[in-house]
Amino acid sequence: MGIPTQKKHEMMRSMLLARQFEERLSGLYRQPGKIHGMLILATGQEAVGAGVCAALTEADVILGNHRSHHHLLARGADPNALMAEIFGKRTGCNKGKSGTLHLAVPEVNALCTTTVVGGGLPIAVGLGFAQHYDKRDAVTVCFFGDGACAEGSFHESLNLAALWRLPVIFVCENNRYAAAQSYAEHSPVPSLAVRADGYGMVGESVDGNDALAVFAATERARARALRGEGPSLIECLTYRWGGHGESDHQTYQPADEIAAWKRKCPVERLAQALIAAGEVSEDDLARMRDAVAARVEAAVRFAEDSPYPAPEEALDDVWAE
Amino acid sequence: MGIPTQKKHEMMRSMLLARQFEERLSGLYRQPGKIHGMLILATGQEAVGAGVCAALTEADVILGNHRSHHHLLARGADPNALMAEIFGKRTGCNKGKSGTLHLAVPEVNALCTTTVVGGGLPIAVGLGFAQHYDKRDAVTVCFFGDGACAEGSFHESLNLAALWRLPVIFVCENNRYAAAQSYAEHSPVPSLAVRADGYGMVGESVDGNDALAVFAATERARARALRGEGPSLIECLTYRWGGHGESDHQTYQPADEIAAWKRKCPVERLAQALIAAGEVSEDDLARMRDAVAARVEAAVRFAEDSPYPAPEEALDDVWAE
Amino acid sequence: MQTLGMGQAINQALREEMTRDERVFLAGEGIGVGIHDSPLMPTAGLLATFGPGRVKDTPVSEAAIAGLAVGAAAAGLRPVVEVMFNPFFTLASDMIVNHAAKLRYLSGGKTAFPLVVRLKSGAGFGAGCQHSHNLEAWVAHCPGLKVVMPSSPADAKGLLKAAIRDPNPVIFIEDMALYFAPAPVPEEEYVIPLGQAEIKRPGRDVTLVAWSKMVGVALQAAEQLAAEGIEAELVDPRCLGPLDTATIVESVRKTGRLVVVHEANRTGGFAGEIAAVVMEQAFSALKAPLRRVAGPDIPVPASPPLERFYIPDSARVVAAVRSIL
Amino acid sequence: MQTLGMGQAINQALREEMTRDERVFLAGEGIGVGIHDSPLMPTAGLLATFGPGRVKDTPVSEAAIAGLAVGAAAAGLRPVVEVMFNPFFTLASDMIVNHAAKLRYLSGGKTAFPLVVRLKSGAGFGAGCQHSHNLEAWVAHCPGLKVVMPSSPADAKGLLKAAIRDPNPVIFIEDMALYFAPAPVPEEEYVIPLGQAEIKRPGRDVTLVAWSKMVGVALQAAEQLAAEGIEAELVDPRCLGPLDTATIVESVRKTGRLVVVHEANRTGGFAGEIAAVVMEQAFSALKAPLRRVAGPDIPVPASPPLERFYIPDSARVVAAVRSIL
Ligand SMILES: Cc1ncc(C[n+]2csc(CCOP(=O)(O)OP(=O)(O)O)c2C)c(N)n1
Ligand SMILES: Cc1ncc(C[n+]2csc(CCOP(=O)(O)OP(=O)(O)O)c2C)c(N)n1
Ligand SMILES: [Mg+2]
Ligand SMILES: [Mg+2]
């Protein structure tokens, strides 16, 4: 398949990290007073963040949504700063202003994140425009869900990016649900990739639980963008193992549907592929898991040991000087 | 072609009326103090209003945009009330509150009109929803331009109408310009009808200067809607003879382009077709023209003789009791 | 009397009006099948009762949801649509402000748009500024829109029933914290006319004007002040449009002092309108400067101590009152 | 001094800033190739000078235009985008209010969004309420946005240059009538800092606060009043955010009387904020009730006599002043 082993290891690590990071969060959320507000996880979707981000270079920009822990971790964001922000601590990457929903990590070119569904796409057009304007050899990746494809902003953004041939990769993470609405209840078409035709851009549907397929599709899209061929739409078919958020009863998701998708676990899938290809051993994997576990523990400890911001700090950071 | 002669006569008359009504307006606009504000005409596009509206029944609803004189006249709106409204007179169909840009004529099931580009489409979804909810055998037609297809509302509306299989016919009047932006400058795709696929609805491109083709496409779409097959997108390919509005210098429209389209005059085209088919004689046409001219003159006289509203009348009609 | 949270009271109002008038239907994101199955939520169980024909779960399309309401209302239905969180009103604002509010006027009074938009609002649930942003001042500035902001389950029920029966577009803003604050609600059917303030507590020394969740905060403050012998009169306008200026002005004529409390950002908030009305109509009665207790001019932060800092509390109201006595 | 309309002054500011800083680019509907070829228009000739790479005509997509600005600004460019008419701000409002204004705060001060949104505004051109709807009160209520409303070509030029250099999102609202009202503009380069009011006319008897086109109306009124020996002081805040409260308060402390004039609808208009600030900070100096001269609470009608009825004129300002002397 031509993907360097080190890239595969990178994906493996980031998927393990995302999985453990979020499983730990899920447990912490059940302990009173630790994590406040909503907690929205991507468990089961890790291959999307890992596959896409492994295909990017430092200069590329990513823009996520309300479900972006896995994107940011795959991009290399510091787990301590993320965990502390999710806890609402002063040491969080956004000083507690954001919490989990709109984590901004400029250090890894995630300049902002929005929890307004569809809100990321027009901004990604602007980010891609700037890369084009500055003649940078870089692309912008915008992550959004299947539900976001019903927003007007989806349309305006793909239309403008296509018209101006901007280096934007629109990554639709189709996890079959928009909150409690199943895909069939909220979308009139079997696949969202077909919408690319309406803008004259390339659209692909890929197995979103196959990190290597996601990686390959992203590489293709990135190459097209850098050749000046404009934006692409990649639909990653995946599934939301948990509820929309951690306080979601999830009764509208059929148990057998969940079970079937859990059998398609993207983390296990990559692990098996690498073992089959002899690119990792069980021992390597065990070591990776342990290293990740330690990293997550350290992040939790860092977050728990960090202070909350002082109330008046709320007044900071509205204005740039 | 199976279109009853009387329908063809109806189309012929409404196209002659729209043409003369607007040519008269264009002249009046050049006389100081007669018509205030913008004046936006559909000269060259008459076949769209005529062809679509001839395929409708009384119960059907139409919703237009800033360029809707021809839609409303084809639907049977009273020229006196329209002309008076365009003049800003108290006897206008909207008592001078609207002027030319958002003419509402509930008497012919044009319950409202919006000059917000793309603003009509979500409202048409609601009108179609009500027809569906009340199990009426009726459809809603929404007229909009090629420029409107770049608005988010276009996407949200087609998506929702398709998802719920609502009896809405989306009629895109592609006159090759969105204000001063040519089609190629504002749209990344050669045809807008392709976008129907992105919603799983039927899309057709028809010659918008051929009233009979527009009529036939509308009949097909209407039949589908009444069979419960949901909405359709009809792109009518036509051309804006004049500028965006009457104060537009129009220098961005190539002279030869304008000339070429004038040779494809939709009014002449239908006239010739009817003569060729022996469905009208030159004398019939002359009589129609004279009758229409008299009607337009009467409308102008009515508007000019009508009083302006008293200033305090501005305070009326905000609230329903 | 039954004891209900505001969501339950709204649920009753919706049930009663949907039963009374089959032209009433609901649409919104997750109003039928939702991620919460709590009976405290406004639309809980309505899908089961009225079916998918009248309780419409929509895609994530705020503009289309609002446009659905505008068109359906023009055609004679009585839409009640939900915008999940107040900041997403922006996405529906063209349909509501340029269409629902104006199309009747543009028709010269020929077409009516009887619709209700339910906006869930308020800070305090740790979701940050893209979920918590009180924008009642926007809609209260738009002729053609009525604006309701109930402070109690009982008011919410009666006002929502009036809103659904009103022939005009009504923006009905619900502070979500009130869903979880049970209070008595009359058993028998009742409707509360739009545009009538209620004096939630009589007093002679100072007039407090507050709405929505801040009524409870102001009431606490009034009780603390009473302990010091200061009798505050608390006026809840209940509707910002039409605003019952008479009741507010009359109260200030009596007390000579005015403190306005809202959760929305201070600058440009609706307290300014109330200040202006009082300054125009009760100037000679004023004995002291105006005080506003409002959210600071920042977005609502997510971290608990920061969010608590944002939300006005009774201590701030008490301090404001003391400062003008 | 040169004599320019406000559109020409804006055009100069854009030219100078685009020449000074190549990160500045323009986008909007018809800002390059437009339907008007009048040199009085703000973006006339800029496409020819700076080319299609920096002067971007867009499709009819207000949300994408605003999003373009937000993203490009985050990436270090200096976007100046145009929203053709104020009511269409609604379509861009999610991008501007939930994103441009909040994303910096949400980033904990890490990312900046230096962008300018030019809004064409004002009644008087017979297009009706979907083209004419003054919504400055909306943006002035949003922390994270600066709001500029120039009343003269000279102010517009200096303020726009400051807005383009400002590291924050700035909403720059242009009353189109001022494009056609030539006035002197300095030849040499200058920048006017945001947040500083200007006293357009000194006086001792009453303070008039007005902005944008209403400054000219208030000035006419002041001259008529002067003929009767009434000396009105006219304060033009020029920016509603940040608002120069000190200058307004100081003026009212001197005159003891306040009349606020705006074209926007009366109820919920920004006059309320000014009333509140004065009532908070200059209460003891007040000698008379507030008066507001504003558009009535109706959409802007299209017919000439109706539209004239809507727009505040100097006679109304004079009457308001007389009523409090
Ligand atoms: C404009 C807007 N409308 C509604 C919401 C509430 N909301 C948050 S996530 C969500 C569902 C989004 O579904 P999808 O785009 O598929 O993303 P997923 O949650 O599945 O990752 C909704 C409706 C929102 N945040 N923004
Ligand atoms: C939301 C919005 N943006 C901008 C405008 C200004 N405007 C009026 S018509 C028009 C062009 C519309 O082009 P199209 O949809 O093709 O209709 P046409 O004028 O060609 O009939 C524009 C940009 C508007 N009225 N509404
Ligand atoms: Mg989803
Ligand atoms: Mg067009």
Measured from the alpha carbon of residue B118, the closest ligand is 2
Concerning whether C62 is annotated as a catalytic residue, the answer is: yes
**Distance to chain C for A187, nearest Cα, Å:** 7
Q: What is the mean pLDDT of chain A?
A: 98
The whole-number average pLDDT for the span B69-80 is 98
Amino acid code (one letter) for D201: R
What distance lies between CA B307 and its chain's CA centroid? Answer: 28
Q: Do D105 and A320 touch (CB under 8 A)?
A: no
Share of chain B above pLDDT 90, in %: 99
B198 closest CB neighbour out of A156, A160, A194:
A194
Residues A233 and A193 sit within 8 Å (Cβ to Cβ): yes
Q: What is the pLDDT of residues D269-323, one digit of tens each?
A: 999 999 999 999 999 999 999 999 999 999 999 999 999 999 999 999 999 999 9
Residue of B nearest to C102 (CA): B318
Q: Cβ(A175) to ligand 1 under 6 A?
A: yes
Q: Do A104 and D111 touch (CB under 8 A)?
A: yes
Q: Provide the chain C residues 144-173 that lie in CB contact (below 8 A) with chain B.
A: 144, 167-168
The Cα–Cα gap between A234 and A236 comes to 6
Q: Provide the chain C residues 277-306 that lie in CB contact (below 8 A) with chain A.
A: 296-299, 301-306
Mutual orientation of helices D62-74 and A120-133 as an angle, nearest 10°?
Answer: 60
Residue at token pair 């509203």:
B309
Share of chain B above pLDDT 70, in %: 100
Q: Do C126 and A37 touch (CB under 8 A)?
A: yes
Supply the pLDDT for residue B164. Answer: 98
D60 touches A at CB < 8 Å: no
The whole-number average pLDDT for the span A115-126 is 98
Pocket test for ligand 1, best of A65, A117, A192 (most atoms within 8 A of CB): A117
Q: Which of C270, C227, C234 is nearest to C252 (CA)?
A: C234
D130 closest CB neighbour out of C102, C129, C142:
C102
The Cα–Cα gap between B217 and B278 comes to 23
Q: Following DSSP, what letter does each residue of A178-216 receive, concatenated? A: ETTEEHHHH-SSS-SGGGGGGGT-EEEEEETT-HHHHHH
Q: Rg of chain C over CA atoms, in angstroms?
A: 19
A101 closest CB neighbour out of C29, C35, C127:
C127
DSSP A41: -
Catalytic positions of D, written as ranges: 62, 131
C298 closest CB neighbour out of D135, D137, D143:
D143
Catalytic pick among C131, C174, C233, C262? C131
Q: What is the pLDDT of residues C36-79, one digit of tens each?
A: 989 999 999 999 999 999 999 999 999 999 999 999 999 999 99
Q: Provide the chain B residues 173-212 that lie in CB contact (below 8 A) with chain A.
A: 186-190, 194-195, 197-201
Residue C1 in tokens: 């009397």
Residues D56 and D32 sit within 8 Å (Cβ to Cβ): yes
Element (H, E) at C55: strand C55-57
Q: Cβ(A148) to ligand 1 under 6 A?
A: yes
Residues B179 and B67 sit within 8 Å (Cβ to Cβ): no
Q: Do C303 and A247 touch (CB under 8 A)?
A: no
Residues B187 and B149 sit within 8 Å (Cβ to Cβ): yes
D75 touches B at CB < 8 Å: no
Q: Do B159 and A188 touch (CB under 8 A)?
A: yes
The whole-number average pLDDT for the span D7-26 is 98
Alpha helices in chain D (DSSP H): 6-20, 46-50, 62-74, 89-93, 103-106, 136-139, 153-165, 213-227, 245-255, 271-281, 304-310, 314-322
Residues A47 and A273 sit within 8 Å (Cβ to Cβ): no
User: Does residue B1 carry a pLDDT above 60?
Assistant: no
Q: What is the pLDDT of residues C155-212, one digit of tens each?
A: 999 999 999 999 999 999 999 999 999 999 999 999 999 999 999 999 999 999 999 9
User: For atom 10 of ligand 1, which residue has the closest CA?
Assistant: A179
- Give one word for B317, left, alpha or beta, with left for phi > 0 and alpha for psi -120 to 50: left
Measured from the alpha carbon of residue C60, the closest ligand is 1
The Cα–Cα gap between C36 and C76 comes to 32
**Distance to chain B for A196, nearest Cα, Å:** 8
Q: Rounded to whole angstroms, what are the CA distances from B193 to B204, B208, B308, D221?
A: 6, 13, 44, 57
Supply the pLDDT for residue A1. Answer: 52
Ligand 1 atom closest to A179 (CA): 11
Q: Rounded to whole angstroms, what are the CA distances from C30 to A132, A178, B159, C83, C163?
A: 39, 9, 17, 10, 22
Residue A68 in tokens: 């972006």
Q: What is the pLDDT of residues A26-85, one digit of tens each?
A: 999 999 999 999 999 999 999 999 999 999 999 999 999 999 999 999 999 999 999 999
Q: Do C276 and D275 touch (CB under 8 A)?
A: yes
Beta bridge partners of C120: C174
